[in-house]
Structure 1
Amino acid sequence: MNRSKYVDKHRKNNYDRLEILLPKGQKEILTFVCRNLDISVNEYIRTLITNDLDDNKSILFSKSDMNNELDTALLDKWQIPKKYRHMIEYAVYSKEDGYFLRLKDGYINDISNTKIIHVYRLDKLRMAINKSHKI
């Protein structure tokens, strides 16, 4: 068996393949970040996924510190317009992770193309919530 067949067989037996689609321009940003960290894009993404799923819970879908009621005082403090509040399922802020919003099922954000909004500055959050709508 030649080397390329051996490598193909090893990859097939030991790894799962996943294709990822990124909005235009994000690939360049991702490769720039990885180059500065001196790691491969695969290693960077694997590390992010591993850290996120550490202890079998994702930060994006963890309900450990969620209550059934949305903290409207927090949204008031952030000055989120009332017309967008019915879309928001969960909102939290921390100095390390920034602002995190999860939209209810049936809503999507055009900037992230998901129901998740995760930014580090309040002005970016206000801009991002304006790009959210019903699917």
Structure 2
Amino acid sequence: MTTQAQAPQDMHALIGRSATITHVVKEADTAANWGNELPVLATPVLLWLSEIAAMEVIGSGLSPRDMTVGLAHDSAHQAPSVLGDTVTVHAELRSIEGKKLVFNVSASDGRATVLAGRHTRAVVDKERFVSRLPASKSAH
């Protein structure tokens, strides 16, 4: 018999909970550091900020032996944010599907909505996950 892995039952109480973070766009956040010459917030950084907001929603809702890992993004980077802009990123837990936590994510910079979509995280056993990582290769 196969059983479907499930998120801890008490996590269902977090459905509908949200978190908002703010971030000021710095030089290190720009697309120029990702192989593009534009001085705007890089998409990978914006996606990471949405992951941070999602993790804030979960907060201490996990058991100490569990953690979440990013599983999927289905988001659109809709407008550029420039150096010095304050980007406000919002995540709301919309559903739990087994061990998958599904969040609606959005971001704005005061001029426009710059991100809209969905981010999915998975609840995993921290020790088991780490034990399956390949050994690091040291530089020689």
Name the TM tier (shorter chain): under 0.3
The structure richer in strand per residue is 2
* TM-score for both structures, normalised by structure 2: 0.22
- Greater relative contact order structure (CA < 8 Å, 6+ sep): 2
* TM-score for both structures, normalised by structure 1: 0.23
